[in-house]
Amino acid sequence: MIRRHVGHTGLQVSRLGLGTMGWGGSNISAADARDLLLTFHRAGGTLIDTAAAYGRGGAEQLLGTLLDSVVPRDDMIIATKAGFGVRDGHRVVDTSRTAMLRDLDQSLERLGTDWIDLWQVHAWGDAPIEETLAAMDYAVSSGRVRYIGVSNFVGWQTAYASAWQRAIPQRTPLASAQVEYSLLARRAEMEVLPAVRGLGAGFFPWSPLGRGVLSGKYRHGTPRDSRGASDHFSWFVEPYLDNRYRGVVEAVARAAEGMELQPAQVALLWTRDSPGVTAPLLGARTVEQLTCCLQTEELTLPPEITAALDDVSGGPVQGRP
C-alpha cells in the first residue's frame, strides 16, 4: 500500500487506516478483530486508529493482545486519543493535564507498548487548551509519545492549537487533525481542511463511507445485521438515512455500476484522493468489508466521475486539480 507523510513531518502511514471504534464491544469479537488486523497488515496497512474511550478501553485492550502475537508492533503506527470518556453513564470531555496523562498511562498499559506513535486529544474540552497541550508536550519529552494531533476540532480551534505550539520552538508541533469527512459530510471543507493544509498538518477523515450509508446497504431498508439496526449504533447511522442524502447515495451507486465497482469503493476513492487527505479511517466490521476497501489500492476515479460526485454532494472541492 502506498504511504503518505503526515503533513510536514517525517511520519509516514499507509494511505488507508484501520479504525477500531467498534472493537471491545459486542459488535466485533476477538476473532473478528484478529482477522481484520491480519488482513490489513498483509495488504501493507500500517495505521491503526483507536482511543481510550472506545469500548471504555476495550478496543485498546483487544488491540494490545494482537500486537506482536498477530502482527509486529514495530510494523504498526498506533494512533490513540485521550480526554474523552463515560462517567456514571454520561459522556464526559476532560482534557485537563491530570485526565490526559492518566488516559495515556492507561492506554500504554492496555496496548502493552512503551510508546504511542500519534497521540491525539479526542475533543475540545473545558480545560484551557494551553494546559492540554502542555500535557501532550510532557508526554513527548518523557518518551511515551512520538507525535501529537487533534480530533474533532473545528477550524479556529485547530489553528489556535497549532499556533500555540509553534510559538515556542521547544513545543511539539501538531502533526495532524481528524474529523468526519465524506460525500455525506463535507463540512470539513469550510474551515478544517483549509486550516490543515495551511498549517502543514496531516488529515485523517473518519467515516469516509458516510457511517456505512454510502455502501448502499440502506438503499432499500435497514439490514438486520447492520449498525443501523443495532441498539448501540443506530443513533450513529440515522442522521444519514434522511431523504436529503438519498440523491448522493444513488449517484454513488450509479457510478459504481458504470465502473463495475462496489459503491463503498467509489465513496472511499473520492475521500482518499481529495485534496489534503492523508488517510481515511476504515470502520470495517468484517473481513469482507475491509477487503472490498483494500481492493481500491490500484484504482482512481475518472475526473468526470469525481466532478459529478462533487456537484451532487455540494459543489467543487477547493484545491482539486
Active site residues: 54
How far is residue 56's CA from residue 53's CA, in Å, rounded to a whole number?
Answer: 5
CA 58 to mean position of chain CA atoms: 18
The 10 Å CB-count burial string (b at 16+, else e) for 216-237 is bbbeeebeeebbbebeebeebb
Q: Are the C-beta atoms of 282 and 23 separated by less than 8 Å?
A: no
148 grid coordinates: 501529537
First-residue to last-residue Cα distance in the chain: 23
Q: Are the C-beta atoms of 48 and 79 separated by less than 8 Å?
A: yes
Q: Are the C-beta atoms of 123 and 151 separated by less than 8 Å?
A: yes
Measured CA angle at 182 (ends 303, 83), to 5 deg? 145
Mark residue 170 as left, alpha or beta (left: phi above 0; alpha: psi -120 to 50; beta: remaining): alpha
For 250, residues 6+ apart whose C-beta sits below 8 A from its C-beta are 219
How far is residue 179's CA from residue 190's CA, in Å, rounded to a whole number?
Answer: 12
How far is residue 267's CA from residue 259's CA, in Å, rounded to a whole number?
Answer: 13
Half-sphere exposure of 170 (CA within 13 A, CB side): 3
CA 313 to mean position of chain CA atoms: 21
139 grid coordinates: 508526554
For 208, residues 6+ apart whose C-beta sits below 8 A from its C-beta are 181, 182, 267, 268, 271, 272, 280, 281, 282
